[in-house]
């Protein structure tokens, strides 16, 4: 709550603002900031992506920042207290980027394993998602930084994301897809909310009469700020009347001041909505401590510090899920002379998924190097041979400065790539601005120098020199957003000036990758130049927002030509005599990203074949998978695959996290926050994802994730809530505090948990409720649902009591007939256990609601 004096000042300022000034506040100033009004002492405040850290104001190559574990990794911890702690540290990161508003957390549920942004959000279950988001929000806002809960609502696919129309019945919408936001609204109280791109039942989310106007603003009485997703404001007046306060980014495109002034002057309802929205913008400025603070924005800084790294390492480790362990883990160095590392991710720095959740990390770690360092400290004589096995790059990889294979000019020049800006399309005249980028993947949608106008046209020269580590044939690749050509030693190699096809690169607006092969020599430096102009190819699919802001982008790739069959054969041969083999496989930010969905759950690029071939020649195989969503595991029953670790995306400490778990320095205590199906076709949304002709029906209704697998008796590969440990636990008989439930009441399940091993660890007690009456619901209901959970950390031999409390509102179901939430009279069986597996849950007893009650 704001001080009364500040609230009065906000009203006084609002009264002093002209209609034009009020409306100017309702769209951004630029890509990341709000509009200031200096004469009235209204400052601009800055926003920053995203869920895994604070990136700052450069989409690529910006100020270094701490890279935290992805949302799905945090969801697997089942630990809201840890999410709160992570939120606190990210709040400090936001401040280091001179920002006041964090565009996070992502609170959406997972509908399909193929969702491109599943890695960003917490779970397929609305309760777990809501609880984790609530804690994260509280942590961020404890630092006087606004958290922006997103994407409201039902933003579960990236295919046609700006225009997909989702048909969702109201019961499903409220119980599954609005529920995480409702929980976080009640328990986290976010200062801002971001509307989603998609359409729900014929109305865009930024002006949706049910989700935004009726539920958020009406039933939940939310008075915080609601902003659009970037380029996601679709109407001038309707969005304003529905409760959308801020169009982002700026300058205003859908809400031009002059036109909106004219409408407001003729319509009192519009003028009243303008006042409300402007008040909310001013209130947010005050909440983040910037009220009347006209201090110029400070430069961004990197606040790399040991404590942040320690937290990221601990949080990443706590999210790791041990899926299989036939006595192979943790590794015992005393009995192992050779531990081989194999796999495309073994020497890769896989920290997170792609898109707006990405950032320029303070540092990165990879599994092989960190494991070698750790094992040599234990026993320097242990050998750790390495073989890549296969390559999973979706596209030809870019060249970064750290490789030592690129420089921005001639001998002695800065490592990286020189980007020079010019007026006009032909790179003539004086250089307007120049800078050196550390990577050859440059998405220039937010870094255009002042004075360059999209209407007048401009261009860049992207240049540098490259060398190669060995003689051979190399693939050189180019993708651009607008017209571009690639020259090698002055000769045109790739003509991409009038391309027609777009692919998934650069937020789904880059051209399809064009690849050419050249023979290159070790020790020779080759001149590379890409000319990229703000000319939208006439036959290329349009992207109005990117055309309007004049986005440029260059992605240059360079890699040796390879043969996966040879790589697999080499790896197989190299591990025959090793005592154990760790195979690090999975996905990365090319396969899982904002802007596009996956097309399959199968591991790409021969990874399954690699595991199967290795398991033929070695009987002690451990598979480590890095992904933000389920993958197929056809090798899971192979007796030579002794261990499986689901490592998710653990941020900048991912390498250390994996090494810690392999060696037992970190006891895995994560639980699956989503179901791993045996195959993609088993998923309930399979036939209806992503839809057809920009439309999708949520025909599975409430049968999302484990609700479907349990209810329809479909056996998953690994169930929701499942996860093993290096410890062993004994869970006692659960006891209920009461057998009756009345309106505004609650019940508590109490259970003793003992660590019966010599290893400290943690267990997650999960409480499910099974309704014993069919009730009056007109929609098929799941046989049980998660209604509470508690993580318990235990020392060897220690016993603690876990208490899980469920309030009456948690048992409510939505009645479309009554237009209310209803707790039906009847029996509710309470089940307690350590996963969602029905046969392994213990009955705590039955809670009876003797009469029904309802609420809105």
Asked if 823 and 771 count as a contact pair (C-beta separation under 8 A), the reply is no
Q: Kindly give the pairing relationship between strand 526-533 and strand 484-488.
A: antiparallel
Helices within 78-172 (DSSP H only): 80-96, 126-141, 170-172
Token pair listed for 825: 């009279």
Q: What DSSP state is assigned to residue 491? A: E
Read off the tokens for 566.
């040879």
Structural tokens at position 829: 């069986």
Q: What is the DSSP string of 510-578?
A: SBPPEEEEEEE-TT--EEEEEEEES---TTSPP-HHHHHHT-EEEEEEEEE---HHHHHHHHHHHTTT-
Distance CA 734, CA 748 (A): 10
Let me know if 413 is exposed, middle or buried by CB neighbors in 10 A (0-12, 13-18, 19+): middle
**Known catalytic residue: 229?**
yes
**Distances, alpha carbon 412 to alpha carbons 184, 197, 360, 416, 465, in Å:** 53, 47, 25, 12, 11
The beta-carbon contacts of 741-745 under 8 Å, at least 24 apart in sequence, are 741/808, 741/811, 741/823, 741/828, 741/847, 741/848, 741/849, 742/808, 742/849, 742/850, 742/853, 743/808, 743/823, 743/853, 744/808, 745/807, 745/808
Residue 270 three-state SS = helix
End-to-end CA distance of the chain: 25
- Given the residues 165, 229, 441, 608, select the one marked as catalytic: 229
Residues 6+ apart with CB under 8 A from 643: 322, 324, 325, 326, 328, 329, 621, 622, 623
The answer to whether 726 and 664 are in contact (CB under 8 A) is yes
The Cβ of residue 612 has, within 10 Å, a number of other Cβ atoms equal to 16
Length of the chain: 856
Catalytic residue IDs: 229
């Amino acid at each position: 709550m704001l001080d009364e004096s500040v609230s009065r000042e906000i009203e006084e300022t609002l009264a002093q603002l002209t209609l034009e000034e009020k409306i100017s506040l309702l769209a951004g100033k630029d890509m990341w900031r709000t509009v200031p009004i200096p004469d009235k002492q209204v400052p601009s405040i800055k926003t920053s992506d995203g869920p895994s850290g604070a990136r700052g104001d450069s989409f690529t190559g910006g100020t270094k920042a701490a890279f935290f574990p992805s949302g799905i990794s945090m969801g697997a911890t089942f630990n809201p207290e840890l999410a709160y702690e992570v939120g606190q540290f990210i709040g400090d990161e936001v401040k280091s980027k001179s920002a006041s508003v964090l565009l996070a957390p992502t609170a959406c549920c997972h509908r399909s394993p193929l969702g491109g942004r599943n890695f960003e959000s917490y779970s397929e279950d609305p309760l777990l998602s809501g609880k984790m988001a609530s804690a994260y929000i509280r942590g961020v806002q404890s630092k006087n930084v606004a958290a922006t809960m997103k994407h409201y609502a039902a933003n579960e696919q990236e295919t046609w994301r700006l225009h997909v129309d989702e048909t969702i019945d109201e019961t499903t919408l409220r119980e599954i897809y609005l529920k995480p936001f409702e929980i976080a609204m009640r328990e986290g109280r976010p200062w801002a909310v971001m509307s989603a791109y998609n359409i729900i039942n014929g109305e865009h989310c930024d002006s949706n009469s049910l989700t935004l106007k009726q539920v958020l603003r009406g039933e939940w009485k939310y008075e915080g700020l609601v902003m659009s997703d970037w380029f996601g404001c679709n109407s001038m007046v309707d969005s304003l009347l529905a409760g959308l306060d801020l169009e982002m980014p700026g300058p205003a495109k859908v809400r031009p001041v002059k036109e909106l002034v004219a409408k407001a002057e003729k319509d009192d309802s519009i003028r009243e909505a303008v006042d409300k929205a402007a008040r909310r913008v001013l209130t947010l400025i005050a909440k983040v401590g910037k009220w009347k603070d006209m201090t110029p924005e400070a430069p961004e800084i990197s606040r790399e510090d040991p404590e942040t790294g320690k937290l990221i390492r601990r949080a990443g480790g706590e999210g790791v899920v041990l899926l299989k362990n036939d006595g192979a883990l943790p590794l015992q160095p005393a009995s192992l002379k050779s531990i081989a590392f194999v796999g495309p991710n073994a020497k890769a720095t896989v920290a997170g998924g792609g898109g707006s959740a990405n950032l320029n990390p303070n540092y990165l770690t990879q599994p092989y190097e960190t494991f070698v360092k750790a094992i040599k400290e234990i026993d320097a004589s242990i050998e750790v041979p390495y073989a890549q096995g296969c390559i999973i790059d979706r596209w030809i990889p870019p060249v970064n400065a750290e490789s030592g294979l690129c420089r921005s000019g001639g001998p002695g020049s800065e490592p990286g790539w020189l980007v020079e800006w010019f007026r006009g399309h032909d790179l003539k005249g004086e250089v307007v601005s120049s800078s050196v980028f550390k990577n050859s993947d440059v998405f220039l949608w937010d870094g255009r120098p002042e004075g360059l106008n999209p209407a007048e046209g401009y261009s860049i020269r992207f240049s540098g020199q490259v060398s190669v580590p060995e003689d051979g044939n190399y693939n050189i690749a180019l993708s651009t957003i607008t017209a571009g050509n690639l020259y090698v030693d002055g000769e045109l190699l790739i003509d991409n000036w009038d391309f027609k096809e777009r692919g998934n690169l650069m937020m789904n607006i880059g051209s399809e990758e064009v690849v050419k092969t050249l023979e290159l020599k070790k020790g020779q430096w080759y001149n590379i130049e890409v000319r990229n102009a703000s000319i939208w190819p006439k036959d290329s699919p349009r992207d109005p927002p990117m055309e309007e802001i004049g986005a440029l982008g260059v992605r240059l790739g360079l890699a040796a030509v390879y043969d996966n069959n040879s790589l697999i054969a080499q790896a197989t041969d190299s591990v025959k005599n090793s005592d154990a083999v760790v195979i690090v496989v999975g996905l990365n930010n090319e396969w899982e990203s904002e802007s596009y969905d996956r097309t399959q759950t199968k591991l790409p690029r021969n990874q399954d074949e690699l595991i199967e071939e290795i398991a033929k020649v070695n009987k002690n195989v451990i598979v480590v998978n890095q992904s933000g969503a389920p993958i197929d595991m056809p090798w899971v029953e192979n007796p030579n695959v002794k261990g499986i670790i689901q490592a998710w995306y653990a941020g900048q400490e991912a390498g250390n996290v994996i090494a810690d778990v392999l060696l037992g320095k970190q006891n895995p205590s994560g639980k699956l926050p989503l179901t791993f199906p045996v195959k993609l076709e088993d998923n309930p949304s399979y036939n209806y994802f992503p839809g057809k002709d920009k439309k999708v029906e949520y025909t599975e209704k409430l049968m999302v994730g484990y609700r479907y697998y349990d209810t329809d008796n479909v056996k998953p590969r690994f169930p929701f809530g499942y996860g093993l440990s290096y410890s062993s636990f004994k869970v006692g008989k659960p006891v209920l505090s009461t057998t009756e439930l009345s309106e505004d009441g609650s019940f508590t399940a109490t259970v003793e948990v003992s660590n019966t091993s010599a290893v400290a660890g943690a267990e997650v007690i999960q409480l499910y409720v099974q309704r014993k009456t069919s009730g009056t619901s007109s929609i098929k209901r799941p046989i049980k649902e998660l209604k509470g959970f508690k993580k318990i950390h235990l020392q060897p031999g220690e016993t603690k009591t876990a208490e899980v409390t469920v309030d009456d509102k948690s048992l409510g179901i939505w009645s479309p007939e009554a237009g209310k939430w209803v707790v039906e009279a009847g029996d509710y069986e309470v089940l307690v256990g350590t996963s969602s597996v029905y046969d392994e849950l213990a009955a705590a007893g039955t809670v009876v609601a003797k009469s029904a009650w309802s609420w809105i």
